[in-house]
């Protein structure tokens, strides 16, 4: 897996590692890269206000071609909840991304608007834009703009199903609605052409950037409130950051993922970490189920079988079931998976022992764990649930107001 880390990735990893280890001291210092300063410019301040960013979060990467404005955020927020954005008007983005579940959906894998069952679990969207790449495993989706065309336009599998033959009809729905005419005009004042797929993507991407989750008990603890975590949660945090469990090597930093970037990360130094964490070993040679072999399906390099992005663990207690295919039902099962050093699938077409996978990351070695330690670690992961985020009216369904 390490070949996917650019050389600077190593330095970043070490930096994050030190930061993580610093947390063991429980001194309440920030989980950010300690050398960073908040963007001091006025423009930076304006962006922070627009995003309502907590002080300990950096400004997410925003591509020059899609400057952030309140008007785009407002349009994107409405579109996110609007079923008219699916070919047959039965689904919206919010059908698979529910706010009360931190924008995941509680399903193993969701079903698209025309009945296609997808092969991947719906991701929570809190802080998703801070990952260096989007989705469970794709090294080409660097900006959220790159990725958003998939749920809207894809015909295999169909999600929202705005396929070529219905595109004009879908756009006409927005062009014939007086409110949307105004929202599109305000969001894209230099264009007279009404709704377009690009404008929809740009507005949704702008809304995605506002989905920042930074007010969990863990954040309050980071910011100096030592009573924000229970003693049990502090024990869990120590376990998480221990060499025994190794979690922090892949789930580190402010977003609990080494797949991280923000507006300060220059394009040349973005790292693209993907790991095989031993979830499957179908053929004894490290293969994953043929429906989804992760990065391999894009690169066709056999060593890339089972490579997935280390998912952010923010709000993880409300985003069950877990992993790219939703195959682990609970956090307890996840911890058992790591403690065992890989998952054993006893029977069926995907039978095999992930622990013995030759492609598994060297960091997934397995460890002895007591019932008490499992409880402690779960308690810590629950401290990443941000009630402010999952109840924030800025993100809720505007059609129910
Ligand atoms: C049918 C269910 C479904 C619909 C509808 C849907 N999504 Fe998703 N979404 C998913 C799944 C499944 C994934 C994981 C995809 C993957 O890894 O390939 C995902 C991933 C994402 C991601 C990447 C998150 C990350 O952490 O990398 C974003 C952003 C996203 N969706 C936003 C949207 C938006 C905006 C819409 C509406 C235009 C939308 N989704 C519609 C199911 C859905
Ligand atoms: C070698 C890197 C690595 C290490 C070490 C690691 N993880 Fe992971 N983690 C991953 C990857 C990669 C995924 C996604 C795998 C997939 O979907 O197939 C993941 C997924 C998860 C998920 C599922 C998230 C979701 O939303 O579905 C949880 C929870 C998790 N890890 C917790 C932990 C804990 C707790 C530890 C320590 C005991 C740990 N991880 C150690 C790389 C790692």
What's the pLDDT at 7? 31
**Is 29 inside any structural domain?**
no
Q: Determine phi and psi for 371, rounding to 5 degrees.
A: -55, -40
What is the rounded end-to-end Cα distance, in angstroms, of the chain?
47
Reported confidence tier of residue 158, pLDDT bands at 50, 70, 90: very high
Residue 353 phi/psi, 5-degree rounding, is -110, 105
| Cα→Cα distances 272→30, 247, 301, Å | 24, 18, 16
Ligand 1: distance of its center to the CA of 123 in Å? 7
Rounded to whole angstroms, the Cα distance separating 149 from 112 reads: 15
Q: How far apart are CA 365 and CA 310, in angstroms?
A: 16
Instruction: Please compute the mean of the pLDDT values over residues 118-143 and round it to a whole number.
Output: 96
Distances (CA, A) of 119 to 21, 309, 343, 391: 36, 16, 19, 29
Q: Is residue 296 part of a domain?
A: no
Structure tokens at 29: 């210092």
User: What are the φ and ψ backbone dihedral angles of 216, each rounded to 5 degrees?
Assistant: -80, 170
Q: Is 112 in the pocket of ligand 1 (CB under 6 A)?
A: yes
Q: Which residues contact 311 (CB under 8 A, 6 or more apart)?
A: 123, 136, 251, 257
* % of the chain surpassing 90 pLDDT: 86
Give yes or no for residue 22 having a pLDDT over 60.
no
Using pLDDT thresholds of 50, 70 and 90, give the confidence band for residue 266: confident
Report whether residue 97 contacts ligand 1, using a CB cutoff of 6 Å: yes
Give how many domains the chain has, as a whole number: 1
Q: CA–CA separation, 149 vs 144, rounded Å? A: 9
Residue 133 lies in a domain: yes
Distance CA 206, CA 109 (A): 26
Q: How far apart are CA 89 and CA 170, in angstroms?
A: 9
Task: Kindly state the average pLDDT of the residues 204-214.
Answer: 98
* Cis peptide preceding 301, ω within 30 of 0: no
In a domain, 335, yes or no: no
CB-based contacts of 293, cutoff 8 Å, min separation 6 = 287, 304, 305, 306
Q: How far is the CA of 27 from the centre of ligand 1 (A)?
A: 37
Q: Whose CA is nearest to atom 36 of ligand 1?
A: 93
**pLDDT at 101 > cutoff 70:** yes
Note whether residue 311 is domain-resident: no
Q: Is 117 among the domain residues?
A: yes
What CATH number should be reported for the domain holding residue 134? 1.10.760.10
Label residue 18 left, alpha or beta by phi (over 0 means left) and psi (-120 to 50 means alpha): alpha
Whether residue 170 is contained in a domain is answered as yes
pLDDT in tens, 31-84: 344 444 554 578 899 999 999 999 999 999 999 999 999 999 999 999 999 999
Over the stretch 277-294, which tens digit does the pLDDT of each residue have?
A: 999 999 999 999 999 999
Check if 153 has its Cβ closer than 6 Å to any atom of ligand 1: no
Note down the domain range covering 183. Answer: 70-211
Domain assignment present for residue 332? The answer is no
pLDDT, one tens digit per residue, over 302-352 is 999 999 999 999 999 999 999 999 999 999 999 999 999 999 999 999 999
267: pLDDT strictly greater than 90: no
pTM of the entire predicted model: 0.91
């Amino acid at each position: 897996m390490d070949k996917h880390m650019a050389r600077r990735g190593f330095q970043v990893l070490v930096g994050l590692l030190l930061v993580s280890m610093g947390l063991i001291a429980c001194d309440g210092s920030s989980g950010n890269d300690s050398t960073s300063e908040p963007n001091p410019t006025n423009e930076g301040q304006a962006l922070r206000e627009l995003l309502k960013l907590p002080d300990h979060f950096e400004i997410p990467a925003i591509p020059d071609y899609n400057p952030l404005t309140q008007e785009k955020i407002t349009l994107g927020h409405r579109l996110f909840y609007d079923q008219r954005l699916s070919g047959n008007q039965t689904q919206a983005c919010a059908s698979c991304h529910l706010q009360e579940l931190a924008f995941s959906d509680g399903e193993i894998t969701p079903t698209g608007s025309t009945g296609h069952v997808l092969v991947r679990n719906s991701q929570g969207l809190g802080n998703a834009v801070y990952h260096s790449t989007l989705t469970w495993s794709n090294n080409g989706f660097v900006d959220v703009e790159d990725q958003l065309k998939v749920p809207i336009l894809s015909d295999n599998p169909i999600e929202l199903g705005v396929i070529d033959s219905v595109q004009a009809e879908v756009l006409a729905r927005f062009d014939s609605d007086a409110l949307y005419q105004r929202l599109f005009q305000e969001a894209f004042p230099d264009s007279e052409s009404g709704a377009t797929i690009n404008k929809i993507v740009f507005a949704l991407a702008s809304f995605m950037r506002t989905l920042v989750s930074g007010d969990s008990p863990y954040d309050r603890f980071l910011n100096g409130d030592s009573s924000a975590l229970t003693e049990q949660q502090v024990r869990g945090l120590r376990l998480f950051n221990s060499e025994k469990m190794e979690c922090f090597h892949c789930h580190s930093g402010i977003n609990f993922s080494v797949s991280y970037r923000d507006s300060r990360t220059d394009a040349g130094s973005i790292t693209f970490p993907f790991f095989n964490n031993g979830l499957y070993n179908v053929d004894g040679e490290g293969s994953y189920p043929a429906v989804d072999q992760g990065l391999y399906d894009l690169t066709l390099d056999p060593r890339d079988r089972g490579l997935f992005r280390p998912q952010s663990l923010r709000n993880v207690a409300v985003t069950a079931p877990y992993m790219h295919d939703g195959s682990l039902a609970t956090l307890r099962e996840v911890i058992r998976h790591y403690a065992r050093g890989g998952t054993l699938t006893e029977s069926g077409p995907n039978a095999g022992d992930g622990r013995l996978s030759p492609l598994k990351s060297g960091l997934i070695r397995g460890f002895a764990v007591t019932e008490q330690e499992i409880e402690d670690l779960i308690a810590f992961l629950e401290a990443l649930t941000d009630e402010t985020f999952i109840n924030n009216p800025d993100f809720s369904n505007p059609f129910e107001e």
